[in-house]
Structure 1
Amino acid sequence: MPLVDMPLEQLKQYEGRNPRPADFDAYWERALEELEAADANPELIPSAFQTPQAECFDLYYTGVRGARIHAKYLRPKKRDGLQPAVLQFHGYTGDSGDWQDKLAYVSLGYSVLALDCRGQGGASEDTGGVKGTTHNGHFIRGLDDHPDNLLFRHIFLDTVRLARIAFELPGVDPEQVYAMGGSQGGALTIACAALEPRIRKLAAVHPFLSDYKRVWEMDLDRDAYQELNTFFRKFDPLHEREDEIFEKLGYIDIQHLAGRIQGKVLFTVSMMDTICPPSTQFVAYNKIKAPKELLIYPDFGHEYLPGNADRTMQFFLQK
C-alpha cells in the first residue's frame, strides 16, 4: 500500500497528538446549555425550485450568538407514515449545493436537510464581527479570545440545532435521522452525532478538523490547514504560545468528540490524503465506541471516491 503517513497497522492503533483540554466535557455541556437557551425561531419559505415529487423549502433558524442559519429542506410530496431524514454537511468554504442533487434521497422517501455553514459560501449569517462571508480562517477564529468564542464551536452547535429541528418535522421518524458529509462535512457529521446522540446512522468521509498538532508536525499545515501556519507566522512566530494554541484547538478537535457517538458509523479514509492526513482520520475513527465500519481507499487522496456515495446510500437503507 502506498504511504504518505504511518503504516496501516500503526494507523489502526494511533491515539492522537493534539491535547484534550481538562474541562472538555464541561465546555461542551456549557455550549449545549447556551444553545438550549436560544430560541430557534425556525421559518420555512417555499423555494423557487420545485419538482413533481418534492416540496422544497428554504429553512432559516437562529443559532447561538444570534446568527440566522440557512439550510435547504426537501421532503417527498407523497408520504405514507413516518419516513427517514438525512442531514447533509458540505466541505470547507463551500455551501449546501444544488437542490437537484438531493432528489435521489427524496425519491426513496427521505427528507433532506442540507446546511449552509455560517460565514462560508452559502446563505447563513456570520455575526462574528461582520455580516456576510469571511470565507476562510474559520478554525483559528477565536484563538485570541475565550474558548467559548471559537467559531467552530458555534458551527458545531448549528449542526445540533438542525438535527433537533429535523426530529420535530412532520413525517420524520425520530428513529431514522441520519447524517453525512465529506472533509469539513465529515467533521460536522461526527460533531453533530456526538453532540446529538439520537442520530442513528452517520457516514463520514475523510474528515477535516482532527488532530491539529499532528498536521503541524507533518508539515501539512497548508491547503485546508493553511490558517494554522498563518496564525503562527503572524501572531506567534517564536511558538511561545504553542501549547496554549493546540490545547485551545482541542476544544474543536473531532477526535475528542468521537467517543460520544451512539449511532452506527460508516467511516471512509483516503490513504494518500495530504490535505487531511490518514492519521488524523484514523484517530477519530479509533475513538468511536459505537458500532462502526471502515472503508479504506488505498490509492486516493482528498478527492472523489468512486462508489462511496452508493455505499453510503446502501448503508442508510439497511434495516
Structure 2
Amino acid sequence: MPTIDMPLTQLQAYTGINPCPADFDQYWARALEEMRETDPQVELVPSAFQTPAAECFDLYFTGVRGARIHVKYARPRHADKPHPAVVQFHGYSGNAGDWSDRLAFVSLGFSVFAMDCRGQGGPSQDIGGVLGSTHHGHIIRGLDGEPDNLLFRHIFLDTAQLASIVMSMPEVDPGQVFATGWSQGGALTIACAALEPRIRKLAPVYPFLSDYRRVWEMDLAKDAYAELRTYFRHFDPQHVRENAIFTKLGYIDIQHLADRVRGDVLLGVGLMDTVCPPSTQFAAYNKITAPKRLEIFPDFGHEGLPGLHDKIIQFFLGNY
C-alpha cells in the first residue's frame, strides 16, 4: 500500500510526540472557569432564509474576552417535543456555510447549530489583544504572550460554550447533542466533546490541530500548518526556543484533550493526507478511551471521503 506516513500497524499504536505542558489540567480548569463566568447574552434573530420545514435564526452569544460569536441555527418548524441537536464546525479560515447545508439534519428531526469561528470567514468577532505576530494564521496568534491568550484556547471554549447553550434550550434533548466537522472542524469537534463531555456522539473527520511537532518533523509545516514555519523564520530563526514553543502549543493540541471525551466517536481518516498527516490524527484517536470506531480511506487525502457523510448521519441516527 502507498504511504506518506507510518504503516497502519504503527499508526494504530502511535501516541504523539508534541510535549504536554506540566500544568495542562490546571490551564483548562482555569479556562473553563472563565467560560462559566461569562454571561453569554444569547440573542436569536430570525434569518431571511426560511423554508416550510425549517425555522432559521442567526444566533449570537458572548464568548470569553467579550467576543460576539455567530451561529447559524436551523430547527424543525413543527417539532412538538425535545429532539436531538447537531453542533457543526467548519474548516480552517472558512465559515458556517449555506443554510441549505443544514437541511438534511433538520429533515431528520434535528436542530442544527453551525458556528462561525472568531476572526475567520464569518461574522464572529476576533477582538484582538495579543502580543506578537497575527500574520498567517490562528495557531500562532497569542504565542508570544501568556498561554491564556492563545486564540485557539478561546475558540475551543467557544465550542464548549455553544454546546452548553444548546443543551439548555427547551426544544433540545440535552442527552442527544452531537458534534461533527472536518479538518479544523474535526479538531473543534474533539475539543468541544472534551470540554463539554455531555456531547453524546461525535464525528470528527481528519482533525487538524494535533501533534504539531510531528507535523514539523515530517516537513509538512505548509498548507494549513504553514504558520509554524513562518513563526520560526521570523521569531526564532535558529530554533533556540523550539522546545518551549512546541510545549506552549501543547496547550491547544487536541491530542492532550482527547482522553476527556466521553461520547461515542466515529472518526474518518485518509491515509494519504499531507495536510493533516495520519499520524497526527492517530495521536488523538489513540488517546480516546470512550467507545470509538475508525473509518479508514487508504487512497484518499484531505478531500471528500466517499460515503462518509452518509455514515455520519446513520451514526447519529443510531443505525450504524
TM-score between both structures, scaled by the size of structure 2: 0.97
1:3-37 CA-partner distances (Å, limit 9, x unpaired):
00000000000011100111000000000000011
Question: Aligned to 2:178, what secondary structure does the other structure show?
Answer: strand
**1:249-260 correspondence to structure 2 within 5 Å:** 249-260=249-260
**Is contact 1:102-1:112 (8 Å) kept?**
yes
For 2:153, the equivalent position in structure 1 comes to 153
**1:300-315 correspondence to structure 2 within 5 Å:** 300-315=300-315
**Is contact 2:42-2:62 (8 Å) kept?**
yes
Question: Aligned to 2:127, what secondary structure does the other structure show?
Answer: coil
Paired with 1:187 and 1:318, the residues of 2 have a C-alpha distance of 23
Aligned pair count? Answer: 316
Q: Does 1:54 align with 2:47?
A: no
For 1:64, the equivalent position in structure 2 comes to 64
For 1:214, the equivalent position in structure 2 comes to 214
1:97-123 CA-partner distances (Å, limit 9, x unpaired):
000111010001100000000000001
1:34-58 CA-partner distances (Å, limit 9, x unpaired):
0011110000000000000111000
Deviation at 1:2, TM superposition (A): 1.5
For 1:171, the equivalent position in structure 2 comes to 171
Unaligned segments of structure 2, at least 5 residues: none
**1:64-213 correspondence to structure 2 within 5 Å:** 64-129=64-129, 136-213=136-213
Paired with 1:113 and 1:83, the residues of 2 have a C-alpha distance of 13
Question: Aligned to 2:249, what secondary structure does the other structure show?
Answer: helix
Amino acid corresponding to residue 281 of structure 1 in structure 2: Q
1:198-239 CA-partner distances (Å, limit 9, x unpaired):
000000000000000000000000000000000000000000
Question: Aligned to 1:155, what secondary structure does the other structure show?
Answer: helix
C-alpha RMSD of matched pairs (Å)? 1.1
Q: 1:39 to 1:135 in 2, by over 3 A?
A: farther
**Is contact 1:147-1:248 (8 Å) kept?**
yes
TM-score between both structures, scaled by the size of structure 1: 0.98
Paired with 1:2 and 1:265, the residues of 2 have a C-alpha distance of 27
**Is contact 1:74-1:112 (8 Å) kept?**
yes
**Is contact 1:83-1:111 (8 Å) kept?**
yes
Deviation at 1:129, TM superposition (A): 4.0
Paired with 1:101 and 1:38, the residues of 2 have a C-alpha distance of 30
Deviation at 1:168, TM superposition (A): 1.1
Q: 1:97 to 1:135 in 2, by over 3 A?
A: farther
**Is contact 2:71-2:96 (8 Å) kept?**
yes
Amino acid corresponding to residue 121 of structure 1 in structure 2: G
Work out the percentage of aligned pairs sharing the same amino acid.
Answer: 71
Q: 1:135 to 1:42 in 2, by over 3 A?
A: farther
1:125-160 CA-partner distances (Å, limit 9, x unpaired):
011149xxx794101011100000000000000001
Question: Aligned to 2:257, what secondary structure does the other structure show?
Answer: helix
Q: 1:135 to 1:227 in 2, by over 3 A?
A: closer
Deviation at 1:269, TM superposition (A): 1.0
**Is contact 1:183-1:205 (8 Å) kept?**
yes
Paired with 1:162 and 1:185, the residues of 2 have a C-alpha distance of 14
Paired with 1:186 and 1:288, the residues of 2 have a C-alpha distance of 14
Paired with 1:204 and 1:193, the residues of 2 have a C-alpha distance of 10
Paired with 1:179 and 1:51, the residues of 2 have a C-alpha distance of 24
Unaligned segments of structure 1, at least 5 residues: none
List 4+ stretches of structure 1 deviating above 4 A: none
Question: Aligned to 2:179, what secondary structure does the other structure show?
Answer: strand
